[in-house]
Structure 1
Amino acid sequence: MALNMGMLASYDQSVEFFKDSVGLGEASTVVAASSVSGFFAAACSLPFDYVKTQIQKMQPDAEGKYPYTGSLDCAAKTLKQGGPFKFYTEFPVYCVRIAPHVMMTWIFLNQIQKLEKSYGL
């Protein structure tokens, strides 16, 4: 949900910016806007992915107790121990993984829309 929010909220604004303010052509606008959209999709979704990964990786201690009781507990403890930027650990790596997926989605969607227009749909 957070990934889609970042992706959808930033794409149209980026298209408008690159087309109107910067004056890029159609292909350049789609690539540039999809890159921006990929960045924001990664930025919005990484905190949730970080918490999910911490929950998946947790191991019980010697007494059999797990470090977190759930996602909210994990998020609260992470925020308390590492601050808000702790959720963005390994952001460049995550961005390189997520941004191309988002970019390809927008580029393919643009091509499909052009194809539909050519058939009068």
Structure 2
Amino acid sequence: MALNMGTLASYDQSVKFFKDSLGLGEASTVVGASAVSGFFASACSLPFDYVKTQIQKMQPDAEGKYPYTGLLDCAMKILKSGGPLKFYTGFPVYCVRIAPHVTTWIFLNQIQKISTIED
């Protein structure tokens, strides 16, 4: 949900900025807006993904007790121990992992072109 929010909210705004403010052509606008959209998708979704990964990786201690009791407990302990930037550990790698989602906008643009030609 956070990934889609970051993607959808930033793409349209980026298209308007690249087209209207910078005067870029269609191909440059779509590629630039897609890159911006990918960045914001990563920024919005990485904290949730980071907490999920910590939950998945947790191991019980010698007494069989797990370090986190749930998602909120995990997030609060991460925040207390590492601060808010801790949620963005591995951001560049995560951006590369999310980058293929950006191609969705490029394909959508091409499909829209094809559908207008047929009309």
TM-score normalized by structure 1?
Answer: 0.96
Provide the alpha-carbon RMSD of the alignment. 0.6
2:113 maps to 114
AA of the residue aligned to 1:46: L
Give the aligned partner of residue 6 of structure 1: 6
Unaligned runs of at least 5 residues, structure 1: none
Q: CA deviation at 1:103?
A: 1.7
In structure 2, give the amino acid aligned to 1:51.
V
Per-residue displacement from partner, 1:17-46 (whole Å, max 9, x unpaired)?
000111110001000000000000000000
Q: 1:4-83 counterparts in 2 under 5 A?
A: 4-83=4-83
3-state DSSP class of the match of 2:105?
Answer: helix
CA distance in 2, matches of 1:119, 1:64: 64
Off by >6 Å, runs of 4+ in structure 1:
none
Gaps of 5+ in 2: none
CA–CA distance in structure 2, aligned partners of residues 77 and 50 of structure 1: 13
Q: What is the CA-CA distance between 1:96 and the residue it aligns to?
A: 1.1
Q: What displacement does 1:102 show?
A: 2.5
Give the aligned length.
Answer: 119
